[in-house]
Structure 1
């Protein structure tokens, strides 16, 4: 592994919301002395800084590129980089920046957690044993989290629990069974030693550790390292989170992502951001934009249309990630939208006029807009041109979607940015929420008990009934058993897609269920020739070439994943 000198820019960051100012205040230290970590202040600074490395993955270009691109739900739009990761073309190789960034930053986070754990042994003078144990549990939650991201992407990875105290050039790839054993050990320690309620919002908690552990068991069950009771453990832990704490599904799906409502009853744990850009950073994050940048990548160029110009409310009109036809027309089928509210509450289907006046439309016909009129409408279904022309607005139907025009995902919008050109967002990234706990339990019960599992159906219905328009709950629930029986895991994947679209799960979901190649090649045209070349070996990402080159013995000591 590419290890580094023990010189960190330790930043007191992990908390991350303005209401917790003591957790947000920075104390920037460069050239940190070895003794600093053994003081109460330095020990806590190191703990807090370890959280910041999750900001290199969640809500970032790198993390979203690695989890959204190249799946059945999203393909490439007109702008942006790293399209080879969507296509799985030859250009997607061991030099790919997002992959190298994820690898490097996860290991930087691991090294800080190892440092804290090493300094906790024997206690820290000036801190109670209880506080040292609690902080150690926090960083073991983080270390397990970092390794879980790595093992899903790369398979066998370098496994170290030792604090790095100099340049190390020896590394090897541990079996995934060893990596999973370490992840589970870390998360079990965290679950046993963390409080149910955080002392400061944003810190790891017992239910957060249990939720992540349920996801780990669900994932390990599909690997060569599978344990005999992995699905049972996944289901039990998910149900513990659902039943034993105060989390609850919000009544309205749209409220989950309402601006200003990030700390809601459905959120088990979130990666924290702040309106203060100074606390949103992380050391050495090469593509750091100063905050949650997810709002940038799912939009479309509305500002080029009559009656509109760029605003903070409507966002920067980047068009990086484009929904597949499968997403907009099959997963969110037009016939279901009067029953299931999630299409309407996931996509922005209309833009109102903010620049009134008279304009020539795309057909050369003059249209006059008053402020507040609808300028652009994505009806979500096809209609004859003659019908489109009866509307005093631009109508964009599915048959007209292309790499520029498509309905934008709206759950990441951030109107709190300081200006239209500000890229850094301040909204928390909801990493774990209760709907996913239900979906984890449903999948585990499906694999244990089959498509007729009443427990799987009950957990799916908890999510589906909440998603229903008022009065349609019974309609949603009535279909579940039949759909699960006919479509099996594909139905569960569709349900995860409707519920979790654009939230950084999809690539992991397809890989875990063995459906990456099947579903991506079926629904994402970019992944097949002539543009793409998705194959089974792409279920692992390439090991960064920098890692191989900096390891003594090169590829013989640290071999590349097959196919790259």
Structure 2
């Protein structure tokens, strides 16, 4: 395990461990022992196998560890969610967020792992001697590598600002990486994404494989960061208007549970098996694949750890263990799921953003469960009686046992009726409503397009049957509110807030009281991992201010 950890660290700095761990026998391999891009990849099947490792890394965004680990990128300790079990936990206490903090370091390392594989693919696919069927097969293969590299550098720039740019495989010891500026990293990502959006296919028969719309979506965001607002609007428009394929906001029932009259089409978006185009979903642009077993396809199914994603366990309240409510601890029900309340939505997410919500489908009991019932006769209440707010008198009652469950994170019908292991759903990395909200953001930043900004937001709100926003109220903060309403638990909220420099402000205004009290302005960027800095002995890489 120590060697495996060292391998992951090495990915962040291009095998720079060779310069500081000379006594490690494993790291004394000679280059002839390693795969070489000169000989290892000669046909499309081999490149597909290489691509599969990048898709596996994306799975790890959602399926690496237990407890609050996967909640970090979703906004742990910011305006949208927090750790309800421990006031002293990191991100509740932002004072514990430093250059040796592991959640952000794991994310950093994963991006460089993707970059490492993408660089190998790009270099190998560019060499003569590969047996391509035609030029289109070559360019689409390269485009996949360029997409993932641009995607990873966008993730790094959003969260950490300037980082080292590694643009080719590192085949020997290197300990003198230098830190590029944030703008240089965005520009590098833009170049990759421009290639990807030109040569990726419009459609694919393989669920989860990236297509042109995914590249244009990420390109739109990168262009906003580069203040190329016209470029951002154009990229988002290609996704929205059909140039990049036939995408549309879902407004009718579809998929595996469409015949259940007590649900609605927003609920259908999160039913197991409904996330891919092949299931009739017209919103999923880039979808991380999770199945109960490996599919054998280029985009691997299965799960990396634990046999299933742990999002229901992480995000849902612990109602099935609420003995005060007549439940028997240790006996989860198929209908209640097996949440254990590691990550709780803030009051902002559960309540504030829903003021004046009207008939917004997203806020109905179907999509956010707010009503819980006694499971046995307790204290004068009968089984089946509604648990009233007045009954929840202890802190843990509403921090752990009973709070609103967003139905997108779980199910009332688990596979084989097993709440422990029976929730295995694909995850949206990119979904069409976010593209609309990115275009709204670009139009707002450009200026002079107030009504068009409102129109983009209202496309999302109208689908949800929510009251429309006026042009005068269509601000950046309103867009962030709408992101929370539509995309909570999907968007990488931590990354959205650091990209916009709004993490401090929004956490101070809407975060859990402990997070709001401890967050600092320098937390608008995450720390560069200290391991990466320390091992880069040939050049100094400064950390972000404050760390």
Q: TM-score, normalised by structure 1?
A: 0.78
State the 1:59 CA deviation. 5.7
CA distance, structure 1, for counterparts of residue 401 and residue 194 of structure 2: 46
Cα distance, 1:423–1:98 mapped onto 2, change above 3 Å: farther
State the 1:280 CA deviation. 11
| Residues 516-561 of structure 1: per-residue CA shift (max 9 Å, x gap) | 21221122244457xx5211111111111111121114xx612222
Q: 2:131 aligns with which of 126, 141, 145?
A: 126
CA distance, structure 2, for counterparts of residue 315 and residue 507 of structure 1: 27
Alignment match, 2:233: 235
Query: Contact 2:120/2:169 (CA < 8 Å) preserved in 1?
Result: yes
Q: 2:154 aligns with which of 148, 153, 163?
A: 148
Alignment match, 1:208: 214
Alignment of structure 1 residues 465-544 onto 2, 5 Å: 465-468=462-465, 476-477=467-468, 479-484=469-474, 488-527=475-514, 532-544=517-529
Alignment match, 2:249: 249
Alignment match, 2:23: none
Cα distance, 1:126–1:513 mapped onto 2, change above 3 Å: closer
Alignment match, 1:67: 74
Alignment match, 1:347: 368
- After TM superposition, the structure 1 stretch with the greater mean CA deviation from structure 2, 164-173 or 100-109, is 164-173
CA distance, structure 2, for counterparts of residue 148 and residue 63 of structure 1: 19
CA distance, structure 2, for counterparts of residue 397 and residue 237 of structure 1: 50
CA distance, structure 2, for counterparts of residue 404 and residue 552 of structure 1: 49
Query: Contact 2:16/2:536 (CA < 8 Å) preserved in 1?
Result: no
CA distance, structure 2, for counterparts of residue 408 and residue 528 of structure 1: 22
Cα distance, 1:74–1:38 mapped onto 2, change above 3 Å: same
Secondary structure (helix, strand or coil) at the match of 1:431 reads strand
Cα distance, 1:281–1:198 mapped onto 2, change above 3 Å: closer
Alignment of structure 1 residues 325-344 onto 2, 5 Å: 325-333=347-355, 335-336=356-357, 338-344=358-364
- After TM superposition, the structure 1 stretch with the greater mean CA deviation from structure 2, 263-272 or 510-519, is 510-519
Alignment match, 2:407: 410
| Residues 358-412 of structure 1: per-residue CA shift (max 9 Å, x gap) | 53x2xx33x443xxx46x658xxx6xx4xxxxxxxx7799997335532122202
CA distance, structure 1, for counterparts of residue 173 and residue 299 of structure 2: 22
Cα distance, 1:506–1:33 mapped onto 2, change above 3 Å: closer
Alignment match, 1:192: 198
Alignment match, 2:260: none
Query: Contact 1:293/1:423 (CA < 8 Å) preserved in 2?
Result: no
Query: Contact 2:121/2:142 (CA < 8 Å) preserved in 1?
Result: yes
Alignment match, 2:121: 116
State the 1:37 CA deviation. 2.8
Alignment of structure 1 residues 161-176 onto 2, 5 Å: 161-176=167-182
State the 1:63 CA deviation. 4.6
State the 1:292 CA deviation. 2.8
Matching of residue 77 in structure 1 with residue 84 in structure 2: yes
Secondary structure (helix, strand or coil) at the match of 1:504 reads coil
Q: 1:2 aligns with which of 13, 23, 29?
A: 13
Cα distance, 1:45–1:528 mapped onto 2, change above 3 Å: closer
Query: Contact 1:148/1:216 (CA < 8 Å) preserved in 2?
Result: yes
Alignment match, 2:47: 43
Query: Contact 1:172/1:558 (CA < 8 Å) preserved in 2?
Result: yes
Unaligned runs of 5+ in 1: 7-30, 221-225, 386-393
CA distance, structure 1, for counterparts of residue 392 and residue 111 of structure 2: 44
| Residues 396-431 of structure 1: per-residue CA shift (max 9 Å, x gap) | 999973355321222021554578575695311111
State the 1:142 CA deviation. 0.7
State the 1:563 CA deviation. 0.9
Query: Contact 1:442/1:456 (CA < 8 Å) preserved in 2?
Result: yes
Secondary structure (helix, strand or coil) at the match of 1:84 reads coil
Secondary structure (helix, strand or coil) at the match of 2:73 reads helix
CA distance, structure 2, for counterparts of residue 36 and residue 211 of structure 1: 33
Cα distance, 1:185–1:216 mapped onto 2, change above 3 Å: same
Alpha-carbon RMSD: 3.3
Cα distance, 1:482–1:398 mapped onto 2, change above 3 Å: farther
Q: 1:54 aligns with which of 44, 51, 58?
A: 58
Query: Contact 1:4/1:166 (CA < 8 Å) preserved in 2?
Result: yes
State the 1:513 CA deviation. 3.4
Query: Contact 1:273/1:280 (CA < 8 Å) preserved in 2?
Result: no
Query: Contact 2:163/2:182 (CA < 8 Å) preserved in 1?
Result: yes
Query: Contact 2:99/2:530 (CA < 8 Å) preserved in 1?
Result: yes
Secondary structure (helix, strand or coil) at the match of 2:214 reads helix
CA distance, structure 2, for counterparts of residue 280 and residue 312 of structure 1: 31
Query: Contact 1:280/1:290 (CA < 8 Å) preserved in 2?
Result: no
State the 1:247 CA deviation. 0.9
Cα distance, 1:280–1:395 mapped onto 2, change above 3 Å: farther
| Residues 136-181 of structure 1: per-residue CA shift (max 9 Å, x gap) | 1111111111111111111111101111223432222111222111
State the 1:87 CA deviation. 2.6
Alignment match, 2:458: 461
